[in-house]
Amino acid sequence: MKAIVVTDQAAGPAGMTLAERPVPEAAGGDVVVEVHASGFTPGELSWPGTWTDRLGRDRTPSIPGHEVAGVVTSLGYGTAGLTVGQRVLGLTDWTRDGTLAEYVAVEARNLAPLPGDVDFAVGASLPISGLTAWQGLFVHGRFRVGQSVLVHGAAGGVGAMATQLAREAGAHVIGTGRAADRQTALDFGAQEFVDLDDDSLADVGEVDLVFDVIGGEVGKRSTGLIRAGGMLVSIAGPPEARPADGLAVDFVVEADRAQLGEIVQRVRDGRLRPNIGEVAPLDDAVGALNPTERVKGKTIIRIRP
Ligand SMILES: NC(=O)c1ccc[n+]([C@@H]2O[C@H](COP(=O)([O-])OP(=O)(O)OC[C@H]3O[C@@H](n4cnc5c(N)ncnc54)[C@H](OP(=O)(O)O)[C@@H]3O)[C@@H](O)[C@H]2O)c1
């Protein structure tokens, strides 16, 4: 099968090449998915799981991309809950070959059904951004109706999802980002916007929850805004500062079939709008995933037309 592979960690996304790889087999509990669309997140090339297996053994050449939308073609021994021919979407294991390929083997429990009226490219754009936003707000952030939420990077992949989910759940949402992102963040539902380069974050006043996708100085400055009993939720690594009278958590997104189902349902009925930029075929994936200019929205690789 055709696949994008990486062999050199130091090269980053520029080290991607299009290669021929064997079609994977379904192990126990797995399905093989015929990939129709794939999502890739640049951060994964710095994570150990891209380069070694769980025992630390080299696993290069490895296939990146861990978001998938496609059709199940075979089931491993004992696999339950999915059938051959079913449309699915999901987040695949970071320590196994990924989805920038014509086929991927993935544990069935990491996948959810993809309804026929949701396009594969849309399906592949949802797992990381949707699940991260969901888990940050409702699992780790313990969001409650009526709270105020500051979403950093509100025009980005995770931020756009967090902004929409928080609004739907009854939050007052303040988005942040670059000046050029103001309208995009407002269009996704933010009620206020802070340009992190030119506006003062301190003017926001107190908030209950900060959803931080940026970290560093921005994360540190945000802790001062958090109301007593509030929370800083970070996806940008362990927070460098903590709120004086609140909690700080960081987490890594996990696959979850039920949460994916909730996210897909919201896309179907229009409550959630995906944030997709360029859609490129597998033959053009290396160029599309190495943009020379700033891109808006998530790049999706369409493996099958
Ligand atoms: N822990 C987890 O489970 C998890 C899950 C998903 C993602 N992540 C990580 O979270 C981060 C965000 O992911 P994403 O997919 O949402 O990325 P994204 O689509 O690039 O969104 C980030 C947004 O924040 C903006 N931004 C970044 N730094 C900024 C700054 N200093 N000032 C103003 N705006 C800034 C970006 O603008 P520019 O494009 O102009 O920089 C962009 O609009 C990435 O580092 C990713 O690796 C972690």
What's the CA-to-centroid distance between 18 and ligand 1, angstroms? 27
In testing the pocket of ligand 1, which one of 178, 199, 213 has its CB within 8 Å of the most ligand atoms? Answer: 213
Q: What is the pLDDT of residue 42?
A: 86
pLDDT, tens digit (0-9, with 9 covering 90-100), for 22-35? 999 999 999 999 99
Both tokens assigned to 92: 């695949």
pLDDT at residue 296 tops 90: no
Measured in Å, residue 25 CA sits from the centre of ligand 1 at 34
Give SS3 for 43: helix
Query: Does the beta carbon of 252 lie inside 6 Å of ligand 1?
Result: yes
> Does ligand 1 have an atom closer than 6 angstroms to the CB of 45?
no
- Quick one: which H or E segment has residue 154? none
Name beta bridge partners: 103: 34
- CA of 41 from ligand 1 middle (Å) equals 10
Angle (CA) 218-227-165 rounded to 5° is 70
| pLDDT of 277 | 94
- Protein residue with its CA nearest to atom 36 in ligand 1: 153
Give tens-digit pLDDT for 47-58. 999 999 999 999
- Tell me, what's the pLDDT at 295? 87
3-state secondary structure of 91: strand
Q: What is the pTM of this model?
A: 0.97
The pLDDT value recorded for residue 281 is 98
Q: Which pLDDT value is given to residue 246?
A: 95
Query: Across the chain, what does the average pLDDT equal?
Result: 97
Average pLDDT over residues 271-285: 97
Reply yes or no on whether the pLDDT at 301 is more than 90: yes
CA of 95 to the centre of ligand 1 (A): 22
